Amino acid sequence: MSKIISSFYEKVPGFIWGYIGVSIPVLAMFVTALIYTDPLGARYSFFNMFVSELGERAVSEVAWLFNWGLILGAIPLLLFMLGLGLKYKSIFGWLCTAGGVFCSISAFFVGIFPMDFGSELYMTGHVISAMSFFYGGMATVFLFSVLIIIDKKKILPKWLGIFGIVVAIIFALFLFLPEGALDDIMIRPRDPFLLLAFLEWLVVFAIFSWILTISITMNVQRKKKTKKIIDLGHFH
């Protein structure tokens, strides 16, 4: 089984899945945000509106695009996490991978259960999925970062681990910052700036940047390895 998995990632490396997994939801979010208008006619703002509002079917004009972006993007992200974990053949590495898989599945279910204040089922599913994503994402990024920093083989550069610690801190700021009642925060019209909404978007930007940076690094490493093999072939 491990040989089949390794063969799969030789043909389609993990960094490709990272590129795809970031591109799909980012594109869906950007297009949905451009089209969005709230019930009072206000345009979408990253400074005072929450991420999940893009998927609110009763308000967001193309909520389906945002929700499907999460559903489809979660699949390559899961493959990226598995590919990253495969680089570290250790119990700690597999623990990190399990966290990444959990985080990806949670993102998938955020798309399955979009924000819908008219449905207890959808709102319960949404809150559980979203909180699982945020807590799971914080733990995954932190654990992978520690692994990268302590790894004696230097499979990935240590600065990626430090970058990951910063990303995990951004998650923590969003999750543990004292907040008011959500019903009070989400009134319309809103203040031009809501710290909690801004921090949520900062988390999304941070984790996508982390995935993209690791993917680029893995891509560069693969190219260098390929070039080295070619150069050795010419030398012989």
pTM: 0.92
Structural domain contains residue 69: yes
Structural domain contains residue 189: yes
Q: What is the pLDDT of residues 185-207, one digit of tens each?
A: 677 788 889 989 999 999 999 99
Structural domain contains residue 41: yes
Q: What is the pLDDT of residue 188?
A: 79
Query: Domain limits at 21?
Result: 2-223
d(CA 145, CA 167): 10
Using an 8 Å Cβ cutoff, are 30 and 51 in contact? no
210 closest CA partner among 153, 140, 152: 140
Is the confidence at residue 215, as pLDDT, over 60?
yes
Q: What is the pLDDT of residue 178?
A: 73
Structural domain contains residue 24: yes
Structural domain contains residue 233: no
- How many structural domains comprise the chain? 1
According to DSSP, the residues that pair with 43 across neighbouring strands are 37
Structural domain contains residue 80: yes
Q: What is the pLDDT of residues 48-100, one digit of tens each?
A: 999 999 999 999 999 999 999 999 999 999 999 999 998 998 899 999 999 99
Structural domain contains residue 197: yes
- DSSP-derived 3-state class of residue 37: strand
